[in-house]
Amino acid sequence: MVGAILLLTGFVAVTYGSWRGYGAARSALIPLLRDGDETRSRIEASRPVRDRPRVRLAARHVAFALAWIVVAMYGVFLLTAGAEVLR
């Protein structure tokens, strides 16, 4: 019974963590790939890199993506533990 619960929760964590991690990684690239308004892009180009809103937004989304990938990795651990309990 414990092994089945570990397998189920591991599968849910892997699926949900991978899905959300992919979405966060995809949304991290969008602000960096699109051109945006020409005037705003020139103003942002004159600022230091760490003060640019697009860079900060992309960094925030990358941090969220890494956090969701950690959740997915924990799900893999739960799957492994559940498989060992059932063995």
pLDDT in tens, the chain (87 residues): 999 999 999 999 999 999 999 999 998 888 777 777 777 677 777 777 777 777 888 889 999 999 999 999 999 999 999 999 988
The predicted structure's pLDDT at residue 74: 96
Dig out the tokens for 67 from the structure.
Answer: 């956090």
Query: In this structure, are residues 16 and 71 in contact, taking their beta carbons and an 8 Å threshold?
Result: yes
Identify the helix (H) or strand (E) that includes residue 29. helix 2-33
The predicted structure's pLDDT at residue 53: 79
The predicted structure's pLDDT at residue 83: 93
CA distance 29 to 27: 5
Angle at 76 between CA 65 and CA 13, to 5 degrees: 60
The predicted structure's pLDDT at residue 46: 75
Ramachandran quadrant class, 36 (left: phi over 0; alpha: psi -120 to 50; beta: rest): left
Give the domain extent around 31: 2-86
How many domains does the chain fold into?
Answer: 1
